[in-house]
Amino acid sequence: MFEALRNFLLIVEHGTFTAAARHAHLSQPALTASIRRLEEQLGARLLSRGRRGAALTAAGAALVPSAKAALAAVEEGRRAVLEVEELDRGEVRIGAGATACTYLLPPTLAAFRRAHPGVKLWLRELTTDEAREAIDAGDIDLAVVTDPGPEADLWFEDELVLVAAPGVDPRGAPFVTFRAGATTRALLEGHFPDAEIVMELGGVAAVKTHVRMGIGVALVSRHAVRTDLLLGRLVEVDDPRTPIPRSMHLVHRGAARLAPAARALREQMLGSTPVPLDDPGA
């Protein structure tokens, strides 16, 4: 049944039996037969075909969250079996925002890899909302976010500061910031509602590069500009609205549900304050 559930979710994701069969590396008749058997087992029609592709029936829509959870549980079990022997195998899938991916996680993940060289680490840059969706779907094991949930551990306290290039008058200067959906962008809009935004960028390095060139000012994590401030490439702007405190949390689907490798990484992260990586461009 698990293979049929996987095929069912592929059809939901891609919208047609043809596209789903291609992604499943199956013939369309084989995929159709798989869905037919699933419907017979469950006693309900799950999908209806039309000119625009496959559409969920009411029963199919009700099945989707349970199907995702079932496949996630099977995957967790498979990985746990592989990892029981002193963490010499397995993988940990992590999601985090731009600052954590660029400055906070590299030293942490490097230390973990040295301790457990057989464990595969997989890191994906995500917004907080995207990370939570990936956790719920079982696509990642751990996520670094700023918005705590029911299963969240406080990792450390961060703060956002306003920076500019030396000699740039910050009064009335436009903002260089991140794309909509990023936590820092939301905090910028909340604390600087009248800010003129001239650039929306996907990474911290790109934001800092344009600020160094005098394009404007930016609200960023102090960890991300530590080296720039020490070397005088950027200066902290004195503003009554900053610094803005920001708690960094580690979220998951429950500590007891983590596979051994993911549990070990969680324990390592919670056992020490992250040491920010020096600017790669320094």
- The residue type found at 95 is G
Domains of the chain: 2-82 (1.10.10.10), 86-152+247-270 (3.40.190.10), 156-246 (3.40.190.10)
The residue behind tokens 């696509």 is 139
- The residue type found at 132 is R
pLDDT at 26: 87
pLDDT at 281: 45
The residue behind tokens 């009064």 is 171
pLDDT at 280: 46
Residues of the chain with pLDDT under 50: 280-282
pLDDT at 150: 63
For the chain, the residue count is: 282
Encode pLDDT of 27-36 as tens digits: 888 888 999 9
pLDDT at 269: 93
pLDDT at 149: 67
Encode pLDDT of 203-253 as tens digits: 899 999 999 999 999 999 998 999 999 999 999 999 999 999 999 999 998
pTM for the full predicted model: 0.65
Distance (Å) of CA 40 to CA 45, 46, 84, 202, 259: 8, 10, 37, 47, 34
Q: Would you list the DSSP string of 33-82?
A: HHHHHHHHHHTS--EEEETTEEEE-HHHHHHHHHHHHHHHHHHHHHHHHH
pLDDT at 220: 96
- The residue type found at 122 is W
User: Beta strand 142-145 with 244-251: parallel, antiparallel or unpaired?
Assistant: antiparallel
pLDDT at 250: 93
Contact between 127 and 140 (Cβ < 8 Å): no
Indicate the SS3 state at residue 115.
Answer: helix
CA pair distance 200, 150, nearest whole angstrom: 31
pLDDT at 69: 87
Encode pLDDT of 94-114 as tens digits: 999 888 998 889 989 999 999
